């Protein structure tokens, strides 16, 4: 199944500065960035993976997979998923597309912030890549405005239905 990149952008635009009441707001418990990006990915994939330990799903704030709201867990799910739901690979900056994901490391060792790419004016400059995020709410913010030590790009290849 194809990943609906336009649906991702529309969801991000609608909810970048608000909180969808269908989802728990994690702002006060470590940040809402990865949950917001998961919501965006879900709007473009329409498939969750309910595997108890290794899946990617949200039922409510107390019943969700670690990958729904955890930076490293989301990365691990996306790049290792061989089952239902979105499947991705780590890629280079020049291969990203709208609706793909960026994760930032502020200390150079662990990644701590997840962003969704909503506009690409020039994929060869960080100033030309615009993101949406929660915790530090933004929409169409140049990724160059963040101070970080490392960045990784995650390209969503497809959505598996089985």
The residue-averaged pLDDT of 94-110 equals 97
Q: Which H helix or E strand runs over 139? A: strand 138-142
For residue range 48-77, what is the model confidence (pLDDT) as tens digits? Answer: 999 987 999 999 999 999 999 999 999 999
- For the whole prediction, is pTM greater than 0.75? yes
pLDDT the model gives residue 115:
98
Identify the burial level of 137 via C-beta atoms within 10 angstroms of its C-beta, where 0-12 means exposed, 13-18 middle and 19 or more buried: middle
Using CA atoms, how far residue 88 sits from 20, 39, 43, 101, 106, in Å, is 25, 16, 16, 10, 23
Mean pLDDT throughout 16-41? 97
Q: What is the mean pLDDT of residues 14-29?
A: 97
Mean pLDDT of 98-113: 97
Q: Sort residue 31 into left (φ over 0), alpha (ψ -120 to 50) or beta.
A: left
pLDDT of residue 74: 98
**How far apart (Å, rounded) are the C-alpha atoms in residues 54 and 135?**
25
pLDDT, averaged across the chain: 97
**Percentage of residues in the chain with pLDDT exceeding 70?**
100
- Buried/exposed 143-154: b ≥16 CB within 10 Å, e otherwise: beebebeebbbb
């Amino acid at each position: 199944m194809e990943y609906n990149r336009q649906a991702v952008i529309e969801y991000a635009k609608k909810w970048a500065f608000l909180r969808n009441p269908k989802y728990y707001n994690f702002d006060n418990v470590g940040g809402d960035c990865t949950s917001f990006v998961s919501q965006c990915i879900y709007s473009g994939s329409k498939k969750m993976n309910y595997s108890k330990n290794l899946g990617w799903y949200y039922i409510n704030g107390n019943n969700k997979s670690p990958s729904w709201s955890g930076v490293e867990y989301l990365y691990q799910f996306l790049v290792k998923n061989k089952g239902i739901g979105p499947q991705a690979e780590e890629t280079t900056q020049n291969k990203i597309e709208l609706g793909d994901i960026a994760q930032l490391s502020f200390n150079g060792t662990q990644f701590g912030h997840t962003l969704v790419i909503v506009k690409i004016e020039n994929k060869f400059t960080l100033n030309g890549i615009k993101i949406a995020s929660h915790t530090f709410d933004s929409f169409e913010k140049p990724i160059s405005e963040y101070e970080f030590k490392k960045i990784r790009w995650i390209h969503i290849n497809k959505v598996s239905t089985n």
